[in-house]
């Protein structure tokens, strides 16, 4: 039998320079080096596939990878010894020396980022920055910025939504109490165009499954919604549980601020002439996405206000001693409506942009 002819492999130098990947190790599929456009297309396809599978209740990484592989939405795994071979390549040594020149910058970035893990950050995209948007802890924008950082609330005990101060939305900047985290800030369009923006709140760091009992309240222009992770069986959280009308809250906390009160409060009964209620948080949108929102037709000098409150809900069945010593880090990211959506945290986006931007890899290899 004649030996089958192998299809010619595409080498990096076969790709026009403007279409090459700017990575230390170019991504490949089936042994073929991909163009940057092909890499981005596969990434977009994988993100969409992940959303589609989660919508169908499929969360297994194995099932995801099998499906992605069948749709050609995969990259070859990098061989662990590839770096060693590359280092012994003459040009590899020069690239290594060039990398050392950027090492101090990388270490500084990593040290800063490691301090932020477990903190709460607010970030703007490059598109919003170019449109002239800014962030501030005060409505007067005395100190406008493109990113805000809040210190974590430490050693907080479990508490109830009823324990949150009713004026929690009336204070600027960070105003934690001993039992919860609270932060108020503003975003303003200082540009000349009327634009639409979206926001997404992400869980970017966690230990001891703290998010199972961490509830989040978000005020957007004084309209409030609160959120909690769905139960282990995927059903929506509620206190008291759906079907249990034997007890309830004697009041409806923050009812007057609720954006959709009919969806988040439900009367369970009356006793002694007094009504009792069930509170129903919206479920986190995914394991890493707490909530999303959008604001349209934001005119120049228009300001929008946000308050974020995070607490460990003591009436949540998942609020147990197993959470002691745990931590959770969250971030809220703003971007233009027209910019590409992603579930990556701001840290991951920044790191990927930084790494892919090291153009000397392309010049030396």
Mark whether 193 and 330 lie in a shared domain.
Answer: yes
Do residues 52 and 139 share a domain? no
The residue range of the domain holding 295 is 120-237+281-345
Q: Are residues 227 and 307 in the same domain?
A: yes
**Residue 102, pLDDT score:** 58
User: Residue 358's pLDDT is what?
Assistant: 45
Q: Is 232 found in the same domain as 161? A: yes
pLDDT at residue 37 tops 70: yes
Domain-ending residue, one of 54, 78, 102? 78
332 in the same domain as 188: yes
195 and 285 share one domain:
yes
Q: Quick check: is 155 in a domain?
A: yes
Q: What is the mean pLDDT of residues 159-164?
A: 97
Select from 78, 104, 136 the last residue of a domain.
78
**For the chain, how many structural domains are there in total?**
2
DSSP per position, 281-322: PEEPSSSSEEEEEEEEEE-TT-EEEEEEEEEEBTTSTT-SGG
Q: Is 150 found in the same domain as 8?
A: no
Q: Which of 15-19, 92-96, 154-158, 169-173 has the lowest mean pLDDT?
A: 92-96
Cα–Cα distance between 279 and 240 in angstroms, integer?
A: 7
Q: With 0.75 as the threshold, say if the pTM is over it.
A: no
Q: At residue 131, does pLDDT exceed 80? A: yes
Which 3 state secondary structure label does DSSP give 168?
A: helix
Whether residue 246 is contained in a domain is answered as: no
Distance CA 10, CA 7 (A): 9
What are 247's two structure tokens? Answer: 């007890």
C-alpha closest to that of 147 among 364, 343, 350, 325? 350
pLDDT at 261: 98
Q: Which of 62-71, 138-147, 287-296 has the lowest mean pLDDT?
A: 62-71
List Cβ neighbours of 142 (8 Å cut-off, separation of 6 or more).
136
Let me know whether 187 and 334 are in one domain: yes
Residue 346 in contact with residue 135, Cβ under 8 Å? Answer: no
Distance CA 194, CA 165 (A): 36
Radius of gyration of the chain (CA): 25
Q: Is residue 253 part of a domain?
A: no
Residue 357 has pLDDT above 60, yes or no: no
Q: What percent of the chain lies above the pLDDT cut of 90?
A: 57
CA-nearest of 162, 258, 173 to 218 is 258
Higher per-residue confidence, 90 vs 167: 167
Same domain, 199 and 50: no
Average pLDDT for residues 291-304, to the nearest whole number?
98
Q: Does 89 map to a domain? A: no
Do 136 and 62 have their domain in common?
A: no
Same domain, 214 and 307: yes
């Amino acid at each position: 039998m004649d030996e089958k002819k192998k299809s010619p492999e595409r080498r990096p130098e076969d790709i026009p320079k403007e279409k090459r990947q700017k990575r230390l190790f170019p991504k490949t599929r089936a042994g073929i080096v991909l163009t940057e456009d092909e890499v981005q297309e596969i990434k977009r396809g994988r993100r969409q596939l992940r959303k589609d599978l989660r919508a169908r209740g499929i969360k297994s990484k194995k099932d995801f990878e099998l499906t992605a592989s069948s749709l050609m939405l995969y990259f070859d795994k990098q061989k662990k010894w590839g770096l060693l071979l590359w280092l012994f390549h003459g040009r590899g040594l020069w690239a290594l020396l060039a990398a050392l020149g950027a090492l101090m910058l990388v270490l500084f970035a990593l040290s800063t980022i490691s301090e932020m893990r477990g903190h709460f950050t607010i970030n703007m995209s490059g598109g919003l920055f170019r449109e002239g948007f800014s962030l501030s802890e005060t409505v007067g924008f005395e100190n406008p910025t493109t990113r805000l950082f809040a210190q974590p609330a430490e050693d907080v005990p479990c508490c109830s939504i009823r324990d949150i101060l009713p004026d929690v939305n009336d204070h600027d900047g960070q105003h934690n109490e001993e039992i919860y985290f609270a932060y108020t800030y503003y975003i303003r369009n200082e540009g000349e165009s009327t634009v639409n923006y979206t926001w997404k709140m992400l869980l970017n760091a966690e230990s001891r499954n703290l998010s199972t009992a961490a509830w989040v309240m978000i005020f957007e222009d004084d309209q409030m919604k609160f959120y909690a992770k769905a139960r282990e069986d995927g059903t929506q959280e509620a206190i008291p549980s759906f079907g249990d009308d034997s007890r309830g809250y004697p009041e409806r906390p923050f009812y007057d601020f609720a954006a959709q009160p009919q969806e988040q409060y439900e009367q369970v009964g009356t006793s002694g002439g007094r009504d009792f209620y069930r509170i129903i948080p919206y479920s986190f949108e995914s394991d890493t996405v707490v909530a999303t929102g959008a604001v349209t037709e934001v005119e120049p000098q228009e300001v929008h206000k946000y308050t974020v409150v995070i607490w460990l809900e003591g009436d949540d069945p998942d609020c147990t001693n197993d959470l002691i010593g745990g931590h959770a880090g969250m971030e809220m990211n703003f971007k233009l409506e027209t910019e590409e959506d992603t579930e990556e945290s701001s840290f991951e986006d920044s790191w990927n942009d930084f790494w892919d931007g090291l153009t000397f890899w392309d010049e030396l290899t």
